[in-house]
Structure 1
Amino acid sequence: MKFMVIDGNSILNRAFYGVRLLTNHDGLPTNAIYGFLSTLFRLQDEYTPDRTIVCFDVKEKTFRHQKFDSYKATRKGMPDELAAQLPVMKEVLDALGIIRCEKGGYEADDLIGTISRKAEEQGDDCLIVTGDRDSLQLVSAHTTVHLVSSKGGQDTSRDITPEAFREEYGFDPIRLIDLKALMGDSSDNISGVPGIGEKTAMNLLHTFGSLDEVYRHLDAPEIKKGLRDKLTNGEQAARDSYWLATIERDAPLPIDMQALPDVQMDRDALYDLLTRLEFKSFLTRLGLSKTEAPAPTAAERKRVELTDLESAQKQLDALTELSAVPLFAAPGLRAFALLAQDTVYLLSLDSFSVTDWDTVTARLFAGEIKLVMHDAKPTYVELLEAGLAAQGVLFDTSIAAYLLDPTASAYDLERVALSYLNRELPKVDLTAEDAFSPLGGRDSALAAMTANVEAIADIYAEASARLEEQGMHKLFFEMEMPLMTVLAEMQQAGCKADADQLCAFGEQLDTRIAALTAQIYEAAGHEFNIQSSKQLGVVLFEELGLPYKKKTKTGYSTSAEVLESLAGYHPMIADVLEYRQLTKLKSTYIDGLLKVIAPDGRIHSHFQQTVTATGRLSSVDPNLQNIPVRTELGRELRRMFVAEQGRVLVDADYSQIELRVLAHVADDDAMIEAFRGGQDIHATTASKVYGVPVEEVTPQMRSSCKAVNFGIVYGISDFSLAQDIGVTRKEAAAFIQSYLDTYPGVHHYMESIKQSARENGYVETLFGRRRALPELNSKNFNLRSFGERAAMNTPIQGTAADIIKIAMLRVRDRLKAEGFEARLILQVHDELILEAPEHEAERAAALLREEMEHAAELRVPLVAEAKIGHSWYETK
């Protein structure tokens, strides 16, 4: 039989620090449990043990503490976020049917040691999983330690066998106790012999073999007088340390190793636990689903199919009287499920003629029925593409879920139902061609749609109440919901791309890439895969002999940072850097953009409003936010985005909007004065920080202050600033302090917002957008530092994001109200782009600038500059 014995506290602790802080819908931290289970399942797959046992420490003192009060006295307590997960972790293990072992008066190490001994006596093999090197003393012919460790911020693991141990230490595993007796262990507050460190202790054991033999040979010539005195004076400490470091292998186990129970998973309990924890991937991995029907959240609902136009019209007329009608729409507008009081109404295209179906669909989204949907934007885009009205969705549960928890990983209906309702939805492919056909999976499809619309209704009930409680009712209804319609219109409109120019630009890049490839091969003296970091590292650092900074077990680091530091050593470095830049430009942008040009010649990027934690919009397919702007070649890409014949692009972007928001929220007189006076904020800052007149500010001074201006709200450190502006860390720290002295309001804001966030548990934008920051109260320095940076930045970046959203709404509404043909087609960071007939261009530009500048009333003016051109490049 093969046993896997896990040091529960050790692995849970490593998981806690190794996985970013996660929480479920109820605010319970879950990262340690997630990391532990990931490790558990991976190891079970890899080693296929017959039984898995997890051992935990208990709170009460052990027999070691009773003899030595100082034992582990320096250990810090468990962080609250980890302590909250421990009992839940044990519940999960119990539900998995995994044996759990703990015993008052003993440490987990003692239980592990006892289990491994008993396994050996039975002729069984034992794999100990731990991050604690103390367990290496247990390594034997039948016991292997799978040691988990951290190096360079990454978790690594390896199996320690007797041979591997001897190769590393030079003596048998049991002598690890002797080593600790001599050198001590500060983590456990084991003193060892005062004055003897690891190197001396290792030498003594290599020479004499054991602690006893060292003391038998104190007069040996290998032991000099100074060392002899330390050993003599510290003998009692050595003996005590030996006792403390020895794992007890005869502890009274609370389990019978001769009669271990079979592994029996409690699938229902495990399903409930994992759904509560929102671990969807583990539910899938374990094949778990609810065995009984979920308890109804309302009166038992009827299911009615509407199969003709007359009955459908009649029912839709009745729905106009209701205050909210949950709706689930199948992809492609092929079927709808509506919930009205105690009845689910189902409609599918297969039951109607095409003409009648279009009539039903148009009626449903005419704006008279107050609809509640989940992720309605794709449906709106489909409606617009079909030439139908896209109105009536007053509440989107995916957007509500995002506002209530903007750091969740996703907001699909399955995940939100799991989070809010502890309910798993049926997995049915509603995009399948025969999904609603009587000969296909019609019954399953309609049942899935029924479950989905019921979930939307139940999520709506909870989410709408929570939005009201958290003061985000106005933000949701007046900003985010109208914006969803605007984003759908922008996606449907798209932006024209010049495919011929893209192809020509791609050919130009190919020519240059080929030339660079030849130059690199010539410098290396042979051909190799330039994009292989491993092969490139061999060429640079072994064949050319360039100095290297980092080397891992997979090879040399050839990151951009490493290569840039080598720029003066060899001409190949510049060629490689340019090669990387151009190949990325070609593959990501030229080839990538050509693939997504639609038959209408336009690129229809998907604008997303439920992705970023700060509220900023993002785009995918393609990601237009990442179009390069820092290099001339990158900027050339903007020539490929053009207006249709007879039209122009009108582009306006905010000037330093985040700094203007900072001036407002910090109420800093000096910064406010600079913006109100129309001054160059970076030059003004440099003048104040360096103590020189503005006209004497050099480009370098301005650049340094620009780095601080933009970095300060991100909590920039002296280390990061030093790297950015090329000064020492000490100089950077002094620079930051001088900056904060110059803008005391900013300094006060940074400190007060962190304190406020700690007290409240969240930060807000000026418009009420919230972000919870549980990391602020973490005992983990890195997590706490992240929380502080997020506390400072989120109200700034989030408010800037809110302002541009307001501008988008105002621009779009005014264009429609005043009869413009111009339409909003792109939003990129702080920039809005219209496509307008040439005769409307000047008026559209004035409208765009006016609405952007009046989107919010701050203590400083908002400034937007509008430009007109036939391509995006020309507007810049």
Structure 2
Amino acid sequence: MNTQKDPIYLIDAYGLIYRFYFAFMNRPLRNSKGENVSALFGFARTIGSLLNDGAPLADKAGTLLPNRIRPDHLAVAFDSPGPTFRHQKYEAYKATRQKAPEDLHAQVPLVQQFLELLKVPLLQVPGYEADDIIATIAEQCRREGRPCYTISSDKDLLQLVGDGIYQLRPGKSTLPQEGISLELVGPEQVKAEWGVPPAKVLDILALIGDSSDNIPGVKGIGEKTAVKLMTRYGSLDEIYKNLASIEGSVGKKLAEGREMAYFSRSLIELYSTVPLPISSLDALAIHDLGTREAAQFLLQQGMKQAALFLDPEATKGLNTVGTASNPVQSGSPALSPRAPAGSSGSPAPNAPVGTSSARSALSPDTSLFGNFPGKALETESIPEQLRQPGTYRAITDLAELQTLLAKAREQGMMTLDFETNSLEAWEARVVGFSFALEAGTAYYVPVMAHQGISPYIDENQARAELQKILLDPAMTIVAHNGKYDYAVARHWGIPRWEGRIWDTMVAAWVQDPERGNYALDSLITAHLGLSTTPYDQVVPKGSTFDTINLETATAYSCEDADYTLRMKAILEPTLQAMGCLDLFRNLEMPLLPILSEMEGRGIKIEAEVLRSYGKELAGELRSIEKSIYELVGHEFNIASTKQLQDVLFKERKLQASKKTKTGYSTDVAVLEELAREDPVPAYILRYRTLAKLKSTYVDTLADQAGRDGRLHTHFVQTGTATGRLSSRDPNLQNIPIRDEEGRRIRQAFVAEPGTLLISADYSQIELVVLAHLSQDPGLIEAFLKGVDVHRRTASLIFGVPEDQVSSEQRRIAKTINFGVMYGMSAFRLSNELGISRTEAQTFINTYFTTYKGIRSFIDTTIQETERTGYSQTILGRRRYIPTINSRNKTEKAAAERVAINTPIQGSAADIVKLAMIRLDRALRKKGNPAQMLLQVHDELILECPEALAEETARLVKEEMEQAIVLRVPLRVSVETGKRWGDFH
């Protein structure tokens, strides 16, 4: 082959468009008009990566390889906008395929406009599909001896592979900074995957058909059978020549499906003589690209990072914190260019050792855009100095450190960032710390030698000087992921800080709670267009921060401190303009050290209690398995979706209701529905529940306890859009609350000898908040009189006296009471209660007739959210909802549910936080040694000496009930005991 000719790279446009649309399906990326631009973004980043550094190659397992793909000849092939020759040949071609979602279809012209501006060849021929265009070019490449690579996951294109033609299949990693990783598929890979060479893939596809394109194939012949036949006979023609020797049902199916096999083959076979709109393959050269024009187009769509990727000077002259064109991002599931995988705001378990807190393993980068539209705030100009390079140096002289820290106390503010040898803050050893007094200048203070040779300040002396700062009530300490820095300082021996904390990570979350990633590097890139130094480029894998030289350590650490101060300068006026600065200062910041103290304290856990329960669960799981096998009549892999589909829908012939890419769904909702008509789905549900509890909690919690025998969870302050706290390593929020299994797990959580646990739980706090917000007289009256709210609701709905309400009627009322605040539809209520949809709708209508104030609250909240673009809590926490005015009914309905739920659930979360702050202050003021250990939903768990349990319980109840004054008084139930599982 003449490899001197440049390879041709061909992109299957719709393959990538669909891929990125569905990758962001749950939380789509949106422009300033609220339009979904997920596919455009993914497409732009993919093209950008190809044109710049090249797209990375990965192996089949998804591991990135050193090779990269950077084309000089590139084209993007699109399907014909109208019917193709296959439709003329077969009227039912693709007839069963669901119509593309409206907001996906609307992005195709945007992608095409982007390509036209970029001057990347766009190929679309009436009457032909993109695969045929690709096949035609591939055939020309074959004749010219020119390599050709198709970027697609389409199995139909595998028939082209060979003689220099390869497929580049989008790999398992989908990276925003890379767009996609690509897996090279040649003849060997095709043979390994399909059991036949590429030229024979067409015959296999002819036998099995293609349900997505409504190509019939041979009825009853699946992939395994087709591969066996092809392995034995070598081709479709040979199979039918030897049909007489193929016995049994397979032979019968083949005989009956002969005509369909050849017809299907004619439909799947690619057409390689498409009249292309180019004179030669050289017309696909991409040397004179319109990167500036394309980048400006992306900026108009709000895609700042994607624009900068194409043109580093795309934002020159734009000096505002966000613009009207910046799109809203609903918290997408994308991945980070730099931060190790982990949960927002807390160190990740597998991140490199020795990282700084500012970059410590924040969640993958999902926030690609700036401010939301409709925020009704004046954007502040960013001073040019915030974009300038910084001046950084090490401080190894104690006197100079004292002088600089004295200056910090004079101005009352400085940033602080620790460098350590571990991501576990309460175990980490301090290597050094950096601080900044003004943007653009920062200092690094080593407290141990770098590489064992550099000068440093004595650890005890440095700690004593820093302690003066942290214990000064007049000081404001600015940090990024300050909970980590606080814990490191506490473990280092510094007492609880008296200075105020200003955490830029939490501030960014308050400003944009849907962002999903609050890593410092992500924020700096989004707001200032600056790049930061990746940790793994500074510290070799497996090494610690003290192993690098002092100069490198200084540059890296000081950058964190400097950029943190720059972010404060950006975020503070934004929060002020939003009306959220008080919530940030007076709620989130006082809570931060409380959470860190709780993490360090942990809760005692008895491993043997869990291990004993684990053995019980294992026995129960075996018993359930046996029951399932007896009902089915044979053993199968219960965890295998495919085998379960066969059992439920083929063998037991249950009615499937929801289809997925791999067949009919077997998710919880489907199994719950099927369980009404067959016992097997009910057993499967029980099996899954117990198996998950066993693997997630029972088998793992015992091993997660620290050396002190206590379990130290990590509270995530920035993990939800509603303001609720979450926890991880382990996640204690998901232990079932009311189920016996959850209680058995909580039995392992115990008080230390001589102490008791105190559980304080808000009673129906979200319904209380709903009563306050809706001002509904009936609901308020029920709470004021202290009656059973669910019984009262049932009495009103069913028109019977309260003392005659049945347990079933109360259950229905309870479901409606809680369902309303989540926007429960009649469809969902009917499924939940096992009643008809008509009956469910009647219940909902009666409910709103009974509680007119709630109906009014819902309508008003939706209208106000449509007007402003956001919903907010009692304390003013905002959640922007870009799809509230969407023309897509499904999106609009989902947005309305979020708008209704946010002020209810968000206000309840804020109240719990207020209670934690009040309680912490009250305990310290009284010198009470009781300590908060856990916060799970609306419950606080404390530990206190037995002798003080009664007194502490009264104090806890009083402080929590007085956290805020509402139209309906808050009620808290308090219990004491030795084990968490003993409560409620």
Structure 2 length normalisation: TM-score? 0.68
| Residue type of the alignment partner of 2:75 | I
Distance 1:164 1:303, change over 3 A: same
Residue deviations 1:519-560, cap 9 Å, x none? 666777776544344455556677x75646378775775545
Residue deviations 1:741-766, cap 9 Å, x none? 11111111111111111110111101
**In 2: Cα distance, 1:760 partner to 1:747 partner:** 20
Please state how far the C-alpha of 1:414 moved relative to its aligned partner: 2.0
Residue deviations 1:133-153, cap 9 Å, x none? xx99xx9999999999xxxxx
2:608 to 500, 513, 523: 500
In structure 2, the residue matched to 1:320 is: 409
Which blocks of at least 5 consecutive residues in structure 1 are unaligned? Answer: 60-75, 149-157, 176-204, 210-245, 286-293
**In 2: Cα distance, 1:488 partner to 1:344 partner:** 26
In structure 2, the residue matched to 1:426 is: 533
Distance 1:801 1:284, change over 3 A: closer
**In 2: Cα distance, 1:22 partner to 1:749 partner:** 28
In structure 2, the residue matched to 1:469 is: 577
| Residue type of the alignment partner of 1:425 | T
Pair 1:662-2:734 in alignment? no
In structure 2, the residue matched to 1:343 is: 441
**In 2: Cα distance, 1:597 partner to 1:527 partner:** 37
In structure 1, the residue matched to 2:299 is: none
Task: Judge which range, 467-476 or 40-49, deviates more.
Answer: 40-49
Pair 1:258-2:282 in alignment? yes
Distance 1:38 1:510, change over 3 A: farther
**In 1: Cα distance, 2:132 partner to 2:610 partner:** 67
| Residue type of the alignment partner of 2:399 | E
Q: Decide whether the 8 Å contact of 2:35 with 2:103 is kept in 1.
A: no
Pair 1:396-2:468 in alignment? no
Q: Decide whether the 8 Å contact of 2:79 with 2:129 is kept in 1.
A: no
Residue deviations 1:221-270, cap 9 Å, x none? xxxxxxxxxxxxxxxxxxxxxxxxx99966866x8643432568999976
In structure 1, the residue matched to 2:487 is: 381
**In 2: Cα distance, 1:683 partner to 1:398 partner:** 44
| Residue type of the alignment partner of 1:338 | F
| Residue type of the alignment partner of 1:356 | Q
Larger radius of gyration: 1
Please state how far the C-alpha of 1:716 moved relative to its aligned partner: 0.6
Please state how far the C-alpha of 1:598 moved relative to its aligned partner: 0.9
2:796 to 688, 695, 719: 688
SS at match of 1:678: coil
Q: Decide whether the 8 Å contact of 1:322 with 1:370 is kept in 2.
A: no
Residue deviations 1:594-635, cap 9 Å, x none? 111111111111111101010000111111111223321321
In structure 1, the residue matched to 2:468 is: 363
Pair 1:620-2:725 in alignment? no
Q: Decide whether the 8 Å contact of 1:496 with 1:602 is kept in 2.
A: yes
| Residue type of the alignment partner of 2:308 | D
SS at match of 2:824: coil
Distance 1:778 1:634, change over 3 A: same
Residue deviations 1:810-838, cap 9 Å, x none? 00100001110111111110111111111
Any residues of structure 2 matched to 1:269-668 within 5 Å, and which?
A: 272-273=308-309, 281=336, 297=386, 301-331=390-420, 332=428, 333-341=430-438, 343-350=441-448, 351-367=456-472, 369-391=475-497, 392-429=499-536, 435-437=544-546, 440-514=548-622, 516=624, 529-535=637-643, 545=652, 547=654, 549=656, 558-561=666-669, 577-668=685-776
**In 2: Cα distance, 1:45 partner to 1:484 partner:** 41
SS at match of 1:692: coil
Task: Judge which range, 728-737 or 78-87, deviates more.
Answer: 78-87
| Residue type of the alignment partner of 2:807 | P
Pair 1:19-2:24 in alignment? yes
**In 2: Cα distance, 1:850 partner to 1:130 partner:** 63
| Residue type of the alignment partner of 2:461 | D
**In 1: Cα distance, 2:130 partner to 2:699 partner:** 59
Structure 1 length normalisation: TM-score? 0.76
In structure 2, the residue matched to 1:31 is: 38
Please state how far the C-alpha of 1:344 moved relative to its aligned partner: 1.4
Q: Decide whether the 8 Å contact of 1:643 with 1:835 is kept in 2.
A: yes
SS at match of 1:857: coil
Pair 1:53-2:53 in alignment? no
Please state how far the C-alpha of 1:783 moved relative to its aligned partner: 2.1
Distance 1:264 1:447, change over 3 A: farther
Residue deviations 1:377-411, cap 9 Å, x none? 01212223333224234310000000011011221
Q: Decide whether the 8 Å contact of 1:7 with 1:108 is kept in 2.
A: no
Distance 1:464 1:358, change over 3 A: same
Distance 1:780 1:522, change over 3 A: closer
2:851 to 726, 743, 765: 743
Any residues of structure 2 matched to 1:199-218 within 5 Å, and which?
A: none
| Residue type of the alignment partner of 2:703 | K
**How many residue pairs align between the two structures?**
770
**In 2: Cα distance, 1:434 partner to 1:43 partner:** 26
Q: Decide whether the 8 Å contact of 1:2 with 1:49 is kept in 2.
A: no
Distance 1:441 1:518, change over 3 A: farther
Any residues of structure 2 matched to 1:155-170 within 5 Å, and which?
A: none
In structure 1, the residue matched to 2:86 is: none
**In 2: Cα distance, 1:522 partner to 1:55 partner:** 53
Please state how far the C-alpha of 1:452 moved relative to its aligned partner: 1.5
Distance 1:92 1:361, change over 3 A: farther
More helix by share: 1
Distance 1:81 1:849, change over 3 A: farther
| Residue type of the alignment partner of 1:337 | S
Pair 1:797-2:908 in alignment? no
Distance 1:121 1:370, change over 3 A: closer
Any residues of structure 2 matched to 1:233-244 within 5 Å, and which?
A: none
Pair 1:787-2:914 in alignment? no
Please state how far the C-alpha of 1:79 moved relative to its aligned partner: 7.7
**In 2: Cα distance, 1:345 partner to 1:141 partner:** 59
Pair 1:778-2:875 in alignment? no
Distance 1:312 1:82, change over 3 A: farther
Task: Judge which range, 818-827 or 376-385, deviates more.
Answer: 376-385
Q: Decide whether the 8 Å contact of 1:119 with 1:126 is kept in 2.
A: yes
Residue deviations 1:349-386, cap 9 Å, x none? 12133322432442342235422110110121222333
| Residue type of the alignment partner of 2:870 | Y
Q: Decide whether the 8 Å contact of 2:390 with 2:562 is kept in 1.
A: no
Q: Decide whether the 8 Å contact of 1:719 with 1:732 is kept in 2.
A: yes
Task: Judge which range, 400-409 or 43-52, deviates more.
Answer: 43-52
Please state how far the C-alpha of 1:169 moved relative to its aligned partner: 9.5
**In 1: Cα distance, 2:856 partner to 2:748 partner:** 46
SS at match of 1:779: coil
Task: Judge which range, 559-568 or 321-330, deviates more.
Answer: 559-568
Identity of aligned residues (%): 34
| Residue type of the alignment partner of 1:387 | G
